[in-house]
Structures are given as structure tokens and as C-alpha cells.
Amino acid sequence: MKGDKHKPQSRFARWIDAFNDGLNTPDEDHYRVPSLVNEKRHERRWRRRVEKENLKKEINIREGEMDRLEIEAKVKEVVALQFGMELKDLEPETNFVTDLHADSLDAVEVVMCIEDRFDLSIPDEESDKMTTIKMVSDYVEKKLVEREDDG
């Protein structure tokens, strides 16, 4: 046992010893900031996941007619949820790339959420052309009207 005291301890072992002694962690400043940042990031991801699930559970669009304002409001909800923004900050002319600083992954996630929300399939060629909330709303409205006419 005497030889164990002279062995170099790992950072984790020092942390456990300090915790057991009732002291603060040896490198508290080193650990504190990243853990808070990661915690907030995970909380935001969890909230988005829960809100996405709640959106999926809502009444299916096919059951009733929707007007232009309702479609635009639901598209804004999806975009606000995806980018973690307030609804009041989004306008129909809001551009995904210049205003929201969306990258290609964000664009794909928005399109997938819109497809799930409105039970549509949006081809890649069409989704690449949609750069504003108004363009997305117009496309969704056009597809819903076509679906009503066919069905």
C-alpha cells in the first residue's frame, strides 16, 4: 500500500479524491464552462426533439382545409423550432441563408420537418429553389391544392 501513494494519479483519480474529501474539483474552472455549454446544447436539442414530436402528433393537415395564413404560420413554427427563434422574429421574406445563416444541413432538416408536418414529399430540385419562408409557404399551398384536386 505504501507504494500506491507514490504512483502518479490520473486526473480522474485526483478529481475523485478531491470530491471524496469534500473539496472543489482540482481544475474546477477547466471543467465548469464546457460542461455548462454542453448542458445547454443538450437541453436545446432535447427541447427541439420534444417539440418536433408534438408537431407530429397534431391533427393531420388532410382532415381540413387550410388557408394561406395558416400554412405560413405553420411553416414559421417549423422554421422557428429548427433555428431556435421566436415567431415574432420571422417574416415571410426571411431568407434562410442570409438572415438565419443556415447551412446545407439546416436546409435539409427544415425540408424534412416541412415534409413531416404537411405530409408532403419535396424533391431536392424544388427544395434548393426555396430560400424564403414565403417560397416554402407558396410551394406547400400549391401542393395541398393539387392534392385536394386529385383527391
Structurally, the chain folds into a number of domains equal to 2
- Domain assignment present for residue 1? The answer is no
Angle between helices 68-83 and 28-57 (to 10 degrees): 160
Q: Render pLDDT for 69-117 as a digit per residue (tens, 0 to 9).
A: 889 999 999 999 888 888 888 999 999 999 999 888 888 899 999 998 8
- Domain assignment present for residue 102? The answer is yes
Same domain, 128 and 82: yes
Kindly report the length of the chain.
151
The C-alpha cell at 107 is 436546409
Q: Render pLDDT for 19-77 as a digit per residue (tens, 0 to 9).
A: 666 555 445 544 444 555 667 777 777 777 777 766 655 544 444 557 888 899 999 99
- Domain assignment present for residue 6? The answer is no
CB-neighbour burial class of residue 96 (10 A; exposed 0-12, middle 13-18, buried 19+): buried
pLDDT at 46: 75
Please give the biggest Cα pair distance in the chain: 85
CATH no. for residue 122?
1.10.1200.10
Structural domain of residue 42, as residue ranges? 11-57
Which residue out of 103, 124, 149, 150 is catalytically annotated? 103
| DSSP-derived 3-state class of residue 95 | strand
Q: Render pLDDT for 125-139 as a digit per residue (tens, 0 to 9).
A: 999 999 999 999 999
The C-alpha cell at 14 is 485526483
Same domain, 46 and 86: no
Same domain, 50 and 70: no
**Does the active-site annotation cover 103?**
yes
pTM of model > 0.75: no
Tell which phi-psi region holds residue 101, choosing left (phi > 0), alpha (psi between -120 and 50) or beta. left
Residue located via cell numbers 399551398? 141
Same domain, 40 and 107: no
- Domain assignment present for residue 3? The answer is no
Sign of CA dihedral 49, 139, 60, 73: positive
Same domain, 99 and 137: yes
Per the DSSP assignment, residues forming a β-bridge with 132 are 95
Same domain, 80 and 147: yes
